[in-house]
Structure 1
């Protein structure tokens, strides 16, 4: 799919908001590459790593024409045009681009939504930021486990009510407990590392079953119920694909040991939310920490908002002040590979879209 290209005839266009210091880092690492960057054409960031930028931003017709002329002249894009699937579809149909660095770790959803032709999927490589978010997501996942084990939801409710319970309720010990991770990719492995540091016994699932350092048992999805029979906590890191949709369903919740803590930092479609609510109500699940949902933003009428043993996070657990720097560093490395005709890191699968 990729031919060797010399830096002298390679053009990169920055299609999404990015701080000038990171643009300069790309230029400094690849001084012979033409890097096109016009902040006037990009919406301002509202917060660090705000890849879509301010939704109130609008280009003039002249700016819109300049934006697309810039992108169509590039071999490589940093970000999807306008950071959406429609922009990807438009550039694929009219540009010469051959590689796009996506900002999201789960970029497969946008690639699928762009509905590119088979020829387009073969011509354009899309790389995700998978791995960049591994540590922030792993830290969030462990926060969720700790919240569940240490009863922070109950403490917060008591504090809000200025209620000092007459009976003292013990919390659960993390060390020595059993954690199951669905999806032992980079995020799952980072979570396993933190969990082991706290003394947890870790097992998990992987589509292609093979040993993972520090993980006791690795199985495929068919082996998940057996793992959960002895688990104290479940962390999901799986992407949203047709194969994972509602994979964690009523049958899986029924296989859990009563009182299991559930954390989701993968995709919301992996968990059947109605089944999760039933499991929370009947005690199979003692606490759920959720950063992702089947529909986002989470509808105002969702029972998850008001459930006393649910934490709702607005899909922000991966965000950190270092994100843009880390993605730019990943891009710099892959740009060297692209020029040399070597395989790119973290290419989105054009069949399964993850």
Structure 2
């Protein structure tokens, strides 16, 4: 336990939310210099170009905190620099639900990883991402790629039958907060949901849970797959050529996790031979998606620029989560959403 905590706001945040944090937890000494950061907006990942003098000011600013709200400049390199410059830093709260990837990118030593606790905003994004997952599943079920292609040709297409929600089986891969909310939403509409997870968990609406090692078997029986996975060594290219080779023809693919979980070359090939009929991607392996990626030109693919989690209420919910964790830290309680610094999720 400790009496007070000096918090530096290291990422854009509206003044009224800073005031809310101070009001809800009076033991916080909050430092906020918005002129050193981009204007607060829905996009947390915007960076500010600074001249050398302003950059030096920003670094002194973030180096003065015992806790950071946000990773400096959303950069692993900047995070490592401030951890090494500030021995008093105790806690860093990352803005993304998958903030473990930022911690991993910092390439910290084990001593540094043990000295600072890292938390994420997991849970805040579950509802908007589950809605985007539903959109992607319905896009495949109701043949959005075929309709868009026919419309672009000004063609009144053949009146082919469409799938029905109550006859659709979906695999949700990754049953964290986002995956569980997605499973509940899909099942609530009448779909059959199979969970794919590395261990048994309680998940509303899931008919059964299969181990990750059986992903290929699961893809052979489902109509759609939703990936809601973090970026770790174990999840890298989990949806790759081997798994897709076993997929039921016309599989719908939706990714609301991290782009590295899909082998994009294998996905393009599977679209080409009909094993995948629709792909809705909020994330890609490289972001922004390079202009020469074949994904841009495939009518079967819908690409969102990593925006599916953004909602007007996101900043407040993240600020409220931070305040709750700050209270827990001050009271000596266990923090929520602590990053696993071995697997970085």
Residue in structure 1 matching 2:44, options 48, 51, 75: 51
The reply on whether 1:209 has 2:200 as its aligned counterpart is yes
Separation (CA, whole Å) in 2 of partners of 1:351 and 1:212: 25
Q: Contact 1:41–1:59 (CA<8 Å) still a contact in 2? A: no
**How many positions carry a matched residue from both structures?**
344
Distance 1:118 1:235 in 2: 34
Question: Does 1:164 pair with 2:164?
Answer: no
- 1:316 matched to 2:331? The reply is no
Partner of 2:207, secondary structure, is: coil
Determine if the alignment matches structure 1 residue 136 to structure 2 residue 140: no
> Where do 1:1-354 residues align within 5 Å?
4-7=1-4, 10-45=5-40, 47-48=41-42, 50-55=43-48, 57-58=49-50, 61=53, 63-95=54-86, 96-165=88-157, 167-354=158-345
Query: For residues 2-32 of structure 1, what are the alpha-carbon distances to aligned partners after superposition, in whole Å with 9 as ceiling and x for unaligned?
Result: xx1112xx21110111001110110001123
CA–CA distance in structure 2, aligned partners of residues 326 and 129 of structure 1:
9
* Separation of aligned partners in 2, 1:353 and 1:83: 16
Question: In structure 2, do the counterparts of structure 1 residues 18 and 345 end up closer, same or farther at CA, with 3 Å as the change threshold?
Answer: same
Could you tell me how far 1:341 is from its partner in structure 2? Answer: 1.4
Asked if 2 retains the 8 angstrom alpha-carbon contact of 1:134 and 1:187, the reply is: yes
Cα contact 2:76–2:102 (8 A) shared by 1: yes
1:52, distance to aligned residue in structure 2 (A)? 3.6
1:300-338 per-position Cα deviation (integer Å, ceiling 9, x unaligned) = 121111112111111111111111111001101111111
Q: Return the alpha-carbon distance in structure 1 between the equivalents of residues 245 and 306 of structure 2.
A: 27
CA offsets, 1:175-214, max 9 Å, x none?
Answer: 2311101101100001011101210011111222234232
Cα distance, 1:135 vs structure 2: 0.8
Q: Contact 1:204 / 1:227 at 8 angstroms: preserved in 2?
A: no
Verify the 8 A CA contact 2:148 2:299 in the aligned structure 1: no
Gaps of 5+ in 1: none
DSSP 3-state at the match of 1:153:
helix
- Does the 8 Å CA contact 1:179/1:234 hold for their aligned counterparts? yes
Find the aligned partners of 2:167 and 2:282 in 1 and give their Cα distance: 26
Alignment TM-score, normalising by the size of structure 2: 0.95
Q: Which digits, 9 at most, give the CA deviation of each residue in 1:257-306, with x for residues without a partner?
A: 11111111111111111111121111111111111111221121211111
In structure 2, runs of 5+ residues without a counterpart are none
Match of 1:305, SS state, is helix
8 Å Cα contact 2:8-2:31 kept in structure 1: yes
TM-score w.r.t. the length of structure 1 is 0.93
Q: Classify the secondary structure of the residue corresponding to 1:164.
A: coil
- Measured against aligned partners, the alpha-carbon deviations of 1:36-58 in whole angstroms (never above 9, x if no partner) come to 1111222224x42x224354x42
- Distance in 2 of aligned mates of 1:26 and 1:186: 24
